[in-house]
C-alpha cells in the first residue's frame, strides 16, 4: 500500500509542530485526517484551514482514546505526540515527571497500537508511523527519561514489524534530531532562554523536513517498508551535539 491507497489517518500531537504539519500535509493530499491533541483552539484552526476532523482530548486518557477509535477505520496511524519535563540527570527526576513523560511518549503509543492496528490487520492495509528521536537511539542526556521512552518506542517498531510479517501493514520510525518547534520551549518553560540555547545561530530542522521524511515512507511502493529514518541537521552529530557557529 502506498499513500494513494490510504483513505484515513489519525495523527496525535496535532496542535503544533511536527504533528500539526503532518496532519495538514495528509489532509492536503486528500486523506480524511483525524487530528488529536489537547488544545481545542489550535485544532479548530487546523480543521478550518485543512479540513481535518478535530478531536480535543488528552492521549493519556485511555478511555477517551477507546471511544475515539471505536468506530474509526484508520489506514495511517502517526504517533506524533511527545513531551519532556525539565532537564537533569536520570536519578534526579521526580515521580510526577517520570509518569508524565512515560504516559505521553510510551503508554499512549501502546494503547493506540492495540486500538488501531487490529483493524489494519483485518483489512490487510495500513501504515504505522512512530515519531521517535535520536534521543532514543543514542544516550544524549539532558532529558534522559524522554530518551528512555523513545528508546522503548524504537524497540516497539521492530517488534511490531515481526508481529505483522506477511501482512500489508507497514511500520516506520522517523527519528529527528533538533527541530525548531515548541518542544524545548515547553520543556524549559522559558521561550527566550530556550531559543537562545537551542536555536539561535544554529541551522536546525523544521517541521517540514520531518514531513518530507514521513511522506517518503508513506509514498514508497507497496512492497517497500521504510523501517527507520534518522534525520538530523548537518551540524548535529548523533551521540553528541556539535553545532558550528554560522
Positions marked catalytic: 146
According to DSSP, the residues that pair with 33 across neighbouring strands are: 9
Geometric angle at alpha carbon 99, from 95 and 105, rounded to 5°: 145
Supply the DSSP symbol for 245. Answer: P
Three-state secondary structure call for residue 242: coil
Say if CB 231 and CB 131 are below 8 A apart.
no
Cα 164 → chain centroid: 20
C-alpha cell at 184: 524545548
Distances (CA, A) of 93 to 57, 82, 218: 26, 17, 37
- Under 8 Å CB-to-CB from 48, ≥6 apart: which residues? none
| In the chain, alpha helices (H) | 17-28, 40-50, 62-69, 95-102, 108-123, 144-163, 183-188, 191-198, 207-218
Three-state secondary structure call for residue 160: helix
Amino acid at each position: 500500500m502506498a499513500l494513494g491507497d490510504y483513505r484515513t489517518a489519525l495523527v496525535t500531537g496535532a496542535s503544533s509542530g511536527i504533528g500539526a504539519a503532518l496532519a495538514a500535509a495528509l489532509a492536503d493530499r486528500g486523506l480524511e485526517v483525524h487530528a488529536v491533541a489537547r488544545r481545542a483552539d489550535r485544532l479548530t484552526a487546523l480543521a478550518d484551514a485543512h479540513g481535518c476532523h478535530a478531536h480535543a482530548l488528552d492521549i493519556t486518557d485511555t478511555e477517551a482514546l477507546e471511544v475515539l477509535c471505536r468506530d474509526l477505520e484508520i489506514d495511517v496511524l502517526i504517533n506524533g505526540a511527545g513531551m519532556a519535563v525539565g532537564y537533569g540527570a536520570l536519578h534526579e527526576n521526580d515521580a510526577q515527571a517520570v509518569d508524565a513523560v512515560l504516559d505521553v511518549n510510551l503508554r499512549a503509543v501502546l494503547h493506540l497500537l492495540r486500538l488501531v492496528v487490529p483493524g489494519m490487520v483485518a483489512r490487510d492495509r495500513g501504515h504505522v508511523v512512530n515519531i521517535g528521536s535520536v534521543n532514543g537511539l543514542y544516550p544524549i542526556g539532558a532529558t534522559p527519561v524522554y530518551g528512555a521512552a523513545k528508546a522503548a518506542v524504537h524497540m516497539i517498531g521492530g517488534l511490531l514489524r515481526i508481529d505483522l510479517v506477511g501482512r500489508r501493514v507497514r511500520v516506520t520510525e522517523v527519528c529527528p534530531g533538533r527541530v525548531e518547534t515548541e518542544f524545548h520551549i515547553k520543556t524549559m518553560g522559558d521561550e527566550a532562554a530556550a531559543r537562545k540555547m537551542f536555536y539561535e545561530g544554529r541551522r536546525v530542522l523544521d517541521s517540514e523536513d520531518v514531513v518530507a521524511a514521513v511522506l517518503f515512507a508513506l509514498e514508497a511502493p507497496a512492497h517497500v517498508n521504510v523501517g527507520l529514518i534518522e534525520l538530523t541537521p548537518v551540524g548535529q552529530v548523533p551521540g553528541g551535539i556539535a553545532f558550528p557557529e554560522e
